[in-house]
Amino acid sequence: MQGGQASGTADLDQLVRSAREQIAAAPDEATLEQLRIDLLGKKGVMTATLRGLGSLPADQRAARGARANDVKNEIESMLTARTGALADARLETIGEREWMDVTFVPALARRGHLHPLSLILRDVKAIFSRIGYEVALGPEVEDDFHNFEALNIPAEHPARDTMDSFYLEGSPLLLRTHTSPVQIRYMQAHQPPIRIIAPGAVYRRDATDPYHGSQFHQVEGLCIDEDIRFSDLKGTIEYFCRSLFGADRRIRITGDHFPFTEPSAGAAVSCGICGGAGCRSCKGGWLEILGSGMVHPQVLRNGGIDPARFSGFAFGAGLERLAMLKYKIADLRAFLDDDVRFLRQF
């Protein structure tokens, strides 16, 4: 229904009927607005009709003008009524289309959880950073010198039997059996004072049982300076163990043997379950947690450090063991499983 079609001769009754049908059939407010423009706008049918009145004979002009005004008003009220009806209908159906169940409780977003090995490593890093230690890292694929020779473990040395290794096929390189090669590499690159901890994965061809896996994690420490003594090692072990396990723990230091330290010592903390009386979780009230000792003079030399001027101590612990003791985890293999229920406990 474009304006050009209409003129002063337009059949007004026919126009009203047509407009009524179209307005009643308009499905939405946008269609109604377009009809309003087509019918009543500046270029609309009614405007053209009213303009056309001027060409009529004078005796017809008044009657037809009055009728045209009535038609214009009628169309306006039809448009207004239909607009109101559509708005009412929209409000009525919105309850059906956009309803909301206010009793519905959505599932909460699940937060992730740090692995116990990450938690324990965070603790260890924080404890040692407070006394000036830095974190040092090194390669997991090592050569024989850094993994064995420089640590006083030559070929045929019995210590190699306890570190049954993974060698790369067709290569003398191996997956490191401990994090000690990081100490050698750090000594080669730095002169004392040295205070580092070296955390990371290590690999041994052990059977996988509740206490051993072919991949596990260690954290080692190394402190080298002038006049470092065994009493410094003892104080550091006590500080570390009590920071990690609690100030009430007692510390036991016993003689041990490692090729790379002299003298060597093992450290144990009193059992947190039985308080040191002895129970199924401990060995006579004690839990062994680390090996340590004064760095062997030859190891210092292998790292490029003069043992006549500097001395130092080193210690190493299994991160899994620390986490098992701190969080009371029974089976080492749980660390490698993908059971999220395990993680949520900590």
CB 195, min distance to Zn ion, A: 33
Q: Which of 279, 330, 336, 340 binds Zn ion (CB under 5 A)?
A: 279
Q: From CA 178, how far away is CA 141, in angstroms rounded?
A: 11
Nearer to Zn ion, 229 or 328 (CB): 328
Using Cβ positions, the residue closest to Zn ion within the complex turns out to be 271
DSSP helix/strand/coil, 149: helix
Is position 24 an interface residue for Zn ion (rule: CB under 5 A)? no
Give the count of beta carbons closer than 10 Å to the beta carbon of residue 268: 21
Nearer to Zn ion, 262 or 288 (CB): 288
Nearer to Zn ion, 211 or 230 (CB): 211
Strand runs labelled E in the chain: 134-135, 141-142, 174-175, 194-203, 215-225, 251-258, 261-270, 286-295, 311-318
CB 218, min distance to Zn ion, A: 24
Nearer to Zn ion, 146 or 326 (CB): 326
Is position 273 an interface residue for Zn ion (rule: CB under 5 A)? yes
Please name the amino acid found at residue 59.
Answer: D
Contact track, Zn ion, 280-309, x by CB under 5 A: -xx---------------------------
What is the residue whose two structure tokens read 């790292």? 303
Q: Which of 10, 56, 86, 274 binds Zn ion (CB under 5 A)?
A: 274
Query: Residue 322 contacts by C-beta under 8 Å, 6 or more apart in sequence?
Result: 120, 124, 219, 244, 289
Angle between helix 45-52 and helix 58-97 axes, rounded to 10 deg? 170
Give the torsion sign (CA, 318, 319, 324, 325). positive
CB 322, min distance to Zn ion, A: 16
Q: Which of 271, 289, 314, 319 binds Zn ion (CB under 5 A)?
A: 271
Contact track, Zn ion, 149-178, x by CB under 5 A: ------------------------------
Contact 269, 251 (CB under 8 A): yes
Nearer to Zn ion, 15 or 271 (CB): 271
Contact 4, 25 (CB under 8 A): no
CB 266, min distance to Zn ion, A: 17
Which residues would be at the binding site for Zn ion (CB under 5 A)? 271, 273-274, 279, 281-282
